[in-house]
Chains A and B, each alone.
Chain A
Amino acid sequence: MLHHDIVVVGAGLAGQRAALAAARAGHDVAVVSKLHPLRSHSGAAQGGINAAIGAEDSVDTHIFDTVKGSDYLGDQDAIEFFCQQAGPTVIEMEHFGTIFSRGDDGSLARRAFGGAGFPRTIYAADRTGLALLQGIFEHLSTETIRIYDEWFLLSIVVREGRVQGITAFDRKSGQIEGIVAKAVIVATGPAGRIYGRTTNAHSCTGDGIAAAYRAGANLKDMEFVQFHPTALLESSILITEGARGEGGIMKNALGERFMTRYAPHVLDLASRDVVSRAIVTEVKSGRGFPGGYVTLELMHLGKEKIESRLQEICDFSRAFAGVDPVTEPIPVFPAQHYMMGGIGTNMQGETNVPGLYAAGEAACVSIHGANRLGGNSLLETLVFGKQAGVAAAAYVSGAPESRLAPTDLERETGHFLALRARTEGESPRVLRTELQQTMDQSVGIYRDPDDLYRALRKVRELQERNRNVHVVDPATTYNLDLTDALEVGHLLDLAEVIVVGAIARTESRGAHTRVDFPARDDKNWMKHTIARWTSGGPELSYAPVAYTRWDPTERVY
């Protein structure tokens, strides 16, 4: 048994920022991650991080844009705090050593982003996530923090009404360990691999969200799934919104700038939900290219700008789609990109379980509400990662000692051992593929109730079949067959919550578009969905949206 004051699960930006804050408060902090920290999916974020630090910009405009972008489902008190922290957060990261792009005057360069009233997205070419991940990782090395890299979370142990620690295993040796801790911070990122067409990494399987859900944490607003408008055709690799921020334009097969129909004022830089719906509508109306896609044109920006500010996506387009953005349009179509929902927390990162905290994409504060603005997710990881670290540090100072008994370890890892012992059954990859096909087809951008019910039946069938999931590989070292099996269980649990929430929410708001309820319904639905785990499936309840200054109005871009 291992002992630490605080265990952070997940080593992306949110996890590392939380660990830094907790360690600075003088606690013994450990980070557990199934990947090396520098391989975290935070590093794949491209376009930038929002902060209203320009003289002509204002924090209030950032707040308003975020509230409007959320389709009035974001908690306004949290959004106010969030936007106020933006400037100090970016400056802190700059002082930690992050290498941002600069303007000619030496100040931080800024670009336009979707749904923003001002160009306030600070960036590092089109690899801002990587730049921040390097910055925080380098800075973290100045603190004494134990990093268990390539360890896989099995469970969060809650007894006597509070967190006692976690169970996990070392992927390199297969060895199971209990890690005793007074507080656990979940920062394991999203579960984008619920979908087949996703920009997310293969590792984005919602392990921490699923473990927290099983441990009694409420999940919030899970039905709100963001589809990024411009993913590369076929591979669904992300093409940053920054490409449109730099002046890129989308066209349909008729050569029309179709966004004039959907967002006459800001065109290609409307909110992501708006742009994704527009693309799907164009293709469904027969104005897409054969095979079903539209194009993103950068050619007019010129070779130099494309190759300097959009260097990575230039490479991606060439390598993964056989297209040179300097001379040709890029074929794009929306793909799953972000989960607005997650483990429900308050502004301090606290969940409903004492000692359990969450931050980053795994969490839902909520600042993104029904639709996240580009450039707000990197900011969220850092602002609320720090909040969670500070709050967990304060909690453990007054909390009683945690304890993990051998019986805890037995109980918590029973599922794992049964899985290892099974000699026949279903392939986890078959289950995963069937889940992904179902979600792609039936729980996408436009949601039809018949499709949603069909998806729910399928997910439940897969959950049933997953009881018999079989690991063929007997090895103890780096057993991917085993992690596939554990991950598919997580994906299935979370997919069920998404579908149940989507069926219940009979309105259209942000990224959740019901074909049978096309309008936003503030009277009945300006509220957060809360899902609690029960053996019979998620039990839903609702919580009010925190409201300060901004009355809901119709969203026009």
Chain B
Amino acid sequence: MFAAEKLITVPFDVYRYDPTRGGEPRYQHYELRLAPHTPILSGLLRIRDELDPTLTLRYSCRSAICGSCAMLVNSKSRLACHTPVGPEVAEHGRIVVDPMRNQPVLRDLVVDQKPFWTRYEQMDPHLIPDPLRPMPEGRPTQMTPAQVDRFKETPRCIACASCYSACPAVEADPEFPGPMALAKLYRFVVDPRDGAHKARLQKIQTSGLWLCLRCHLCTEACPKDVRPSERIRDLKELAVRAQGGTEPGSRHAIGFMKNIEEAGTLNELKLVRQTSGLSGMVAAAGQGIRLARKKPELLKGPKTIEGIAEVRKLYAALEKDEEVPL
């Protein structure tokens, strides 16, 4: 239990901006004396109570379950109610609070979440029952613990948008649905009650799934350990297993895998063809010729590595081990 802690001085620099009233965004400085374990949200509410009632933020449950108070704390996406002041002050000397990224600021720390919800809605986030397998009349569906386990941690998602805020692919590409939406999609794809997982995978494979940069910043930001980047990886695997390569992203992954299985190393020339097809090779020809001048060995392709037998054994073992969870 928290021992009777000495109060520390906590300097806050909080982003302030009201676009409807003009002016420029600025940081406002506040100082409080707080116990180190005090959540940042409690600090901000004390600022509202005692220093400045115009400071504006979203908050409700204060127990990390409603997802309202996600914001940037010293540049990282965090739930304010779930982040104590002490370690932040120890590491950064102060607490700089900004609104989440990738969502326009409505006022101070309150952002417009419409883009976030719109991308979520594009995932058809509801159960689509299979007309050929109706729900059992008058009783719950049977679901084994193993089937429940396939949801992984996705039911913990509180839609706080921390992941969305942390995601560089969201920033770069309006086509990318974002980590939360994809984790939600994954939850439906692995649901044994859902009848549309094939259609869901088909749709996502050509509409944004492969735009993930695999930086894992979403997983780092997620306060509920949903690990969205791992769910995106799972979706990619399920998509490829269900329908093979349908566009450059998945074909690249498959090509990569086949290259290693064949030679234990990459064949760059082949990979271009595997990813983009013949037309892709033609399109990339100029670049290829320039490269080949510098590294003529590329044209010959790589030598098969010595331990290839071991690599193939690994492939065989993995193939046997992995059950397709659909």
User: Known interface pairs A106-B142, A322-B1, A477-B106. Does A97 touch B193 (Cβ–Cβ under 8 Å)?
Assistant: yes
Contact indicator A319/B56 (Cβ below 8 Å): no
A91 near B126 with CB under 8 A, answer no
Could you tell me how many residues of chain B have their Cβ less than 8 Å away from some Cβ of chain A? 59
Least distance between A536 CB and chain B CB atoms (Å): 32
Cβ contacts B52-68/A at 8 Å (1 or 0 each): 01111101111111111
**Given the complex of chains A and B, what is the CA–CA distance between A53 and B139 in angstroms?**
9
B1-27 contacts to A, CB under 8 A, are 1-2, 18-21
B138 within 8 A of A: yes
Question: In the complex, what's the smallest C-beta–C-beta distance from B88 to chain A, in angstroms?
Answer: 14
Interface residues of B in 287-320 (CB under 8 A from A): none
Whether B61 lies near A429 (C-beta < 8 A) is no
Q: Which residues of B contact A108 (CB under 8 A)?
A: 140
B113 on interface, CB distance cutoff 8 Å: yes
Q: How far is the CA of A101 from the CA of B113 in the complex (A)?
A: 31
In the complex the two chains form, what is the Cα distance from A127 to B57 in whole Å?
A: 25
> Quick check: A94 and B53 within 8 Å, CB to CB?
no
In the complex, the answer to whether B56 meets A91 with C-beta atoms within 8 Å is no
Q: Are A319 and B66 in contact (CB under 8 A)?
A: no
Stretch of A384-392, A415-423, A443-451, A468-476 lying at the B interface: A468-476
Task: Tell me if A480 and B143 are in contact (CB < 8 A).
Answer: no
**With A and B bound together, what is the CA distance between A433 and B53 in angstroms?**
14
B155 touches which one: A96, A134, A202, A316 (CB < 8 A)?
A134
| Bound Cα distance A95, B128 (Å) | 10
A293-310: CB near B (< 8 Å → 1, else 0) gives: 000000000000000000
Chain B residues closer than 8 Å to A283, beta-carbon distance? none
Given contacts A99-B151, A102-B148, contact A138 B60 (CB under 8 A): no
User: What is the CA–CA distance of A284 and B21 in the complex, to the nearest angstrom?
Assistant: 54
A17 to chain B, nearest CB (A): 15
Q: Which residues of A sit under 8 angstroms from B129, Cβ to Cβ? A: 95
Could you mark each residue 131-145 of chain A with 1 if its beta carbon is under 8 Å from any beta carbon of chain B, else 0?
Answer: 100100011011000
Residue A172 CB within 8 A of the other chain: yes
Q: Report if B90 contacts A (CB, 8 A).
A: no
How many whole Å from A523's CB to the nearest CB in chain B? 43
Q: Are A43 and B65 in contact (CB under 8 A)?
A: yes
**Complex partner residue of A44 from B2, B66, B113, B117, CB under 8 angstroms:** B66
Task: Please name all residues of chain A whose beta carbon is closer than 8 Å to the beta carbon of B59 when the two chains form the complex.
Answer: 202
B144 near A102 with CB under 8 A, answer yes
Q: Please measure, in the bound complex, the distance between the C-alpha atom of A127 and the C-alpha atom of B106, giving whole angstroms.
A: 31
* A310-335 near B? 1/0 per residue, CB < 8 Å: 01100110011111000010010000
Asked if A36 CB lies within 8 Å of chain B CBs, one says yes
Q: Name the B residues within 8 Å of A107 (CB-CB).
A: 140, 142
Size category of the A interface is 35 or more
Q: How long is the Cα–Cα vector from A446 to B290 in the complex, in angstroms?
A: 85
Please give, as numbers and ranges, the residues of chain B lying within 8 Å of A43 by CB-CB distance.
61, 65-66, 158
Q: Is residue A437 contacting chain B, with contact meaning CB distance below 8 A?
A: no
Structural contact, B144 and A44, CB atoms closer than 8 A: no
| A332 vs chain B, min Cβ distance (A) | 11
| Residues B18 and A316 in contact, CB atoms below 8 Å apart | no
Alpha-carbon gap, A35 to B159, bound state (A): 13
Instruction: Tell me, in angstroms, the Cα distance from A311 to B191 when the chains sit together.
Output: 21
Q: Report the tally of A-B residue pairs with Cβ distances under 8 A.
A: 161
CB-nearest residue of chain A relative to B138?
A91
A39 CB to nearest B CB, Å: 4
Chain A, residue nearest B61 (CB): A201
Considering the complex, give the chain B residue whose CB is closest to the CB of A100: B140
The residues of A that contact B125 with a CB separation of less than 8 Å are 138, 141
Is the pair B135, A95 in contact by a Cβ cutoff of 8 Å?
Answer: yes
Q: Which residues of B contact A134 (CB under 8 A)?
A: 155
Cβ-closest chain B residue relative to A324:
B1
> Are A39 and B127 also in contact (CB < 8 A) when A94-B140, A429-B49 are?
no
How many whole Å from B191's CB to the nearest CB in chain A? 7
Tell me if A35 and B140 are in contact (CB < 8 A): no
A477-493 CB mask vs B (1 if < 8 Å, else 0) is 11111001000000000
**Distance A282 CA – B144 CA, assembled complex (angstroms):** 44
Interface centre among B57, B62, B140, B191 (most CB of A within 10 A): B140
List the A residue with the shortest CB-CB distance to B68. A39
Interface flags for B136-180 (1: CB within 8 Å of A; 0: not) read 001111111101100100011011000000000000000000000
A179 and B140 alpha carbons, distance in the complex (Å): 39
Write out, one digit per residue, whether chain B residues 90-108 have a CB within 8 A of any chain A CB (1) or not (0): 0000000000000000111
Query: Is there an interface contact between B65 and A44, defined as CB atoms closer than 8 Å?
Result: yes
B110 within 8 A of A: yes
Given the complex, which residues of A lie within 8 Å of B187, measured CB to CB? 99
Q: How far in angstroms is the closest Cβ of chain B from A127?
A: 7
Interface centre among B49, B61, B117 (most CB of A within 10 A): B61
Determine whether B121 belongs to the interface, using a CB cutoff of 8 Å to chain A. Answer: yes
Given contacts A97-B127, A472-B54, A476-B20, contact A429 B48 (CB under 8 A): yes
A160 proximal to B (CB < 8 A)? no
| Cβ contact of B39, chosen from A102, A127, A320, A472, cutoff 8 A | A320
A470 to chain B, nearest CB (A): 10
Q: A475 to B20, Cβ gap below 8 A?
A: yes
Q: Report yes or no: A35 in contact with B60, Cβ–Cβ below 8 A.
A: yes
The interface centre, meaning the residue of B18, B56, B65, B135 with most chain A CB atoms within 10 A of its CB, is B65
Known contacts A97-B191, A480-B56, A481-B54, A39 near B67 by CB under 8 Å: yes
- Contact B66 A201, beta carbon cutoff 8 Å: yes
The smallest C-beta distance from A548 to any residue of chain B, in angstroms, reads 26
Binding site for A on B (CB under 8 A): 1-2, 18-21, 37, 39, 48-49, 53-57, 59-68, 82, 84, 106-108, 110, 112-113, 117, 121, 125-127, 129, 135, 138-145, 147-148, 151, 155-156, 158-159, 187, 191, 193-194
CB<8 Å pairs between A and B, sample of 8: A36-B113, A38-B159, A130-B65, A233-B1, A238-B63, A477-B18, A478-B56, A481-B53
For the complex of A and B, the 9 pairs showing the least CB-CB separation, nearest first, are: A97-B127, A322-B2, A106-B142, A138-B126, A201-B61, A94-B140, A473-B54, A95-B135, A481-B53
Give me 16 other A-B pairs in contact (C-beta within 8 A), A101-B148, A130-B155, A237-B62 excluded: A35-B60, A36-B113, A41-B66, A43-B158, A44-B63, A91-B139, A97-B191, A131-B155, A134-B155, A141-B125, A201-B61, A203-B60, A319-B84, A321-B2, A475-B54, A478-B110
A interface with B by C-beta (< 8 Å): 35-36, 38-41, 43-44, 53, 88, 90-91, 94-97, 99-104, 106-108, 124-125, 127, 130-131, 134, 138-139, 141-142, 172, 201-203, 233, 235, 237-238, 311-312, 315-316, 319-323, 328, 331, 427, 429, 433, 472-473, 475-481, 484
